[in-house]
Structure 1
Amino acid sequence: MEFRYLGNSGLKISEITYGNWLTHGSQVENDVAAQCVRAALDVGITTFDTADVYANTQAETVLGDALTGERRESLEIFTKVYWPTGPKGHNDVGLSRKHIMESVNGSLQRLRTDYVDLYQAHRFDTETPLEETMQAFADVVRQGKALYIGVSEWTAEQIRAGVALSKELGFQLISSQPQYSMLWRVIEAEVVPTSRELGVSQIVWSPIAQGVLTGKYKPGQAPPEGSRATDTKGGSSSIKGFMTDDILTRVQGLAPIADELGLTQAQLAVAWVLQNDNVAAALVGASRPEQVQENVKASGVTIPAELLTRIDDVLGDGVVTDPGQTTARAPQTRPV
């Protein structure tokens, strides 16, 4: 396992980071989730990412249980706040001071830790003044409940405003967590250049495009039984945008490139996002321990420039690059 600095900080994280969205507390039984976490630790992953909203707080509980007994100082534990949780009352959502302060305490209790290494704004809150949000994060840091602050799916302008306030308030906003893959490159035009300038790194989710870049989905064929595309608990809805015959046909054309590098298509996809020097880590999930063991082989891989060009040629206009997608897909009001 290789490690990278997160933003303009002294914090190093494993460049393959274990995430438990859509799995722990939902798709995967708790004993299997614990086996996946154990597999991650065994292959050198030290960084674990979750959120209070995953399985309505249950994912944090499962992760906290699975990490019990591990040396806390040897781990980097990340979580997030924004989406509705608990009974989903009128203040159980957003980035108000009230919700942040109550949410961080709940997350720490479920994760069985006194602090998280990174506390992330899971979306931008259009209904709370940014100054209020950033002051609350500053206080969370000063109270020792989080060491650093990050954001997820913020635009370049929102990141710039957040970083400016964090500097005024004396804490570090060091990361952005966007969707990023060979097929979804909307951060490249604006978010990445702005982040480089400001000392912010990307921790990218869905580097395998919800499993599409593994090549297991074939054009004109039904999805394999038990795959994410057949899951009714959220998996199928999250993947449907990639499930067109055009995209699936293009993805099949990546197989020879993966073969040249001695990689699976999934490993190629994870290695591809790590070629971007503004990416500190690729988030990978797992429903089986073997998936962790396979995906970690993408760490340390260098893809030659000529193969990167071939990947672009194969995927062609199947790639989404419009930076406006970040705003288009963001909640315009607080969800209830």
Structure 2
Amino acid sequence: MQVSIACTEHNLKSRSSDDRLCSNRPTSCGSTVTNGGHAKCRTTAVLTHNLSQNSPQLPIYLKESTSRGTGMKYRNLGKSGLRVSCLGLGTWVTFGSQISDEMAENIMAVAFEHGVNLFDTAEVYASGKAEVTLGNIIKKRGWRRSSFVITTKIYWGGQAETERGLSRKHIIEGLKGSLERLQLDYVDIIFANRTDANSPMEEIVRAMTYVINQGMAMYWGTSRWSSMEIMEAYSVARQFNLIPPVCEQAEYHLFQRDKVEAQLPELYHKIGIGAMTWSPLACGLITGKYEDSIPENSRAALKGYQWLKEKVTSEEGRRQQTKLKEVHAIAERLNCSTAQLAVAWCLRSEGVSSVLLGVSNVEQLLENLGSIQVLPQLTPQTISEIDGILGNKPHTKKESRS
């Protein structure tokens, strides 16, 4: 096995001291290392020494960075090397259906100008029209492909039995269909848009590995998978030398906390799984849009969103509205909107790589982007105050042990 050592400043400075440490020391191969002798064993010893010395500093590349030009913050996607904007733009409901293509282009242009480099879609959004709209905008704007990240999700691709699920057939054919609609050679991340009990985990992981090896995707992730299912995929990947997932897409907002705060952090530390969260405003519930009634142009009034209407008008929904009034008072104190506070609250969570925004106009986008300025104001005292209002903070394993 060949061992290569990066010629870092630390290694150069410590080389002489490391040589002294190795000098005249018995080695595992039975010989004695002297200065200038048995280079292979000395190299191994230096490598071991440097790793033990540097191990606390290894995650340095995971640090958040801020663009001087836009103020956008960038984070690693989980513990992969992919850097994504902490706020991404989602296309669920809006692109290809609720808003015009012209408005969609305006929103994307403003987002990109403000440092957003992550755009999320799915084969099922508007029956593929969302991908078509997104692809047309990218082509028209002429952005460098290397300057942004496109993610899409595979599961519901059509009415035929073979056009849905996570079989090898549908993962490959579904992604090819997405690429045609997006007019792209590859997507950066392909997500499995829920688990599929009819497809063996090994088949799913092998198919994801295949599309990555074929250059159709850079990474793969999961969406709405349980921790156990993600761990199973990771174990299968390690067992058969395949590519494991790097990210889980999960719903996360003030009233949906358990998965992102109690389950995913453990996966982040153990296997590097990051969180890309969606619905930070709970489909508009947190903005106070439904406080008195359901507006005609709101999502809860749309066909196919009866579940949202029932949620808003339920007893639990009314209790949540009462709590939101107290959260709104905190937002006023911080001189921001409730929406900005809610998005910033999502960003402060460990392991969250990016929060996907869903907006229908430029004004909403700009308001939500302002949440980055609110983030530094979320002190432990403020977070504790919000937790007291919500009364739904999940208990982590670490807290349980204490």
TM-score, normalised via structure 1 length: 0.89
Partner of 1:61: 132
8 Å CA contact 2:92, 2:125 repeated in 1: yes
Query: Alpha-carbon deviations, 1:207-256, whole Å to 9, x = none?
Result: 111111112322xx21233222222243x534642442111111111111
Per-residue deviation, 1:44: 1.2
Q: Which string of whole-angstrom CA distances, capped at 9 and with x for unpartnered residues, describes residues 133-160 of structure 1?
A: 1100000010011000100011010011
The amino acid of 2:232's aligned partner reads A
2:382 is the counterpart of 1:311: no
CA distance in 2 between partners of 1:3 and 1:207 (Å) = 18
The one-character-per-residue Cα deviations of 1:256-311 (angstroms, maximum 9, x if unpaired) are 11122222111111100111121001010111111111111112513111111111
1:229 matched to 2:304? no
Question: What SS class does the counterpart of residue 67 from structure 1 fall into?
Answer: helix
Cα distance in 2 between the residues matched to 1:186 and 1:127: 27
Equivalence for 1:330: none
| Match status 1:40 vs 2:115 | no
1:216 to 249, 274, 289: 289
Q: Which amino acid aligns with 2:249?
A: Q
After TM superposition, list the pairs within 5 Å mapping 1:234-245 onto structure 2.
Answer: 234=305, 236-238=306-308, 240-243=310-313, 244-245=317-318
Contact 2:208 2:220 in 1 (8 A): yes
Equivalence for 1:117: 188
Q: Is the 8 A contact 1:184 1:321 kept in 2?
A: no
Q: Computing the radius of gyration over CA atoms, which structure comes out larger, 1 or 2?
A: 2
Aligned counterparts of 1:25 and 1:322: Cα–Cα separation in 2:
40
Match of 1:273 in 2: 346
Paired residues, what number?
A: 316
1:72 CA displacement: 0.7
Q: Distance in 2 between matches of 1:254 and 1:241?
A: 20
The question of 1:181 aligning with 2:265 is answered: no
Partner of 1:195: 268
Shift of 1:117: 0.7
What are the superposed Cα offsets for residues 290-334 of structure 1, whole Å, 9 maximum, x if unpaired? 111111111251311111111112222xx49699xxxxxxxxxxx
Q: Check conservation: 1:209, 1:239, Cα contact below 8 A.
A: no
What is the DSSP-based 3-state SS (H/G/I as helix, E as strand, rest coil) of the residue aligned with 1:24? helix
Classify the secondary structure of the residue corresponding to 1:80. strand
Runs (4+) of structure 1 exceeding 4 A deviation are 319-323
> Deviation at 1:110?
0.9
Do the aligned residues in 2 keep the contact of 1:118 with 1:150 (CA within 8 Å)? yes
Query: Using the alignment, how far apart are the partners of 1:65 and 1:320 within structure 2?
Result: 42
Greater Cα shift, 195-204 or 149-158: 195-204
1:281 and 1:179 mapped to 2: Cα distance? 12
Is the CA contact 2:250–2:278 (under 8 Å) kept in the aligned structure 1?
yes
Tell me: higher relative CO, structure 1 or 2? Use CA pairs within 8 A at least 6 residues apart. 1
Instruction: Give the 5 Å matches for 1:54-133.
Output: 54-68=125-139, 69-83=142-156, 85-86=157-158, 88-133=159-204
Q: Is the 8 A contact 2:301 2:309 kept in 1?
A: no
Provide, for residues 150-205 of structure 1, a one-character-per-residue CA deviation record: whole Å limited to 9, x for no partner. 00011010011111223333324110001011111130332332233210100001
Structure 1 gap ranges (5+): 324-336
- Give the partner amino acid of 1:98: K
What amino acid sits opposite 1:146 in the alignment?
A
CA contact (8 A) 2:290 2:312 kept: no
Partner of 1:148: 219
Listed as ranges, the gaps of 5+ residues in structure 2 are 1-71, 397-402
Q: Check whether the contact 1:2–1:15 (CA below 8 A) recurs between aligned residues.
A: yes
Q: Using a 3 Å threshold, how does the CA distance of structure 1 residues 231 and 131 change in structure 2: closer, same or farther?
A: same
1:1-20 equivalences in 2 (<5 Å) = 1-20=72-91
- Matches of residues 277-296 of structure 1 in structure 2 within 5 Å? 277-296=350-369
CA distance in 1, matches of 2:171, 2:232: 19
Indicate yes or no: 2:208 matched with 1:137. Answer: yes
Give the C-alpha shift of residue 109 in structure 1.
1.0
Q: Which amino acid aligns with 1:32?
A: M
What is the rounded CA distance, in whole Å, between the counterparts of 1:154 and 1:242 in structure 2?
A: 25
Q: Percent identity?
A: 36
- Measured in 2, the distance between the counterparts of 1:239 and 1:304 equals 34
TM-score by length of 2: 0.75
Q: How far apart, in 1, do the equivalents of 2:181 and 2:393 lie?
A: 37
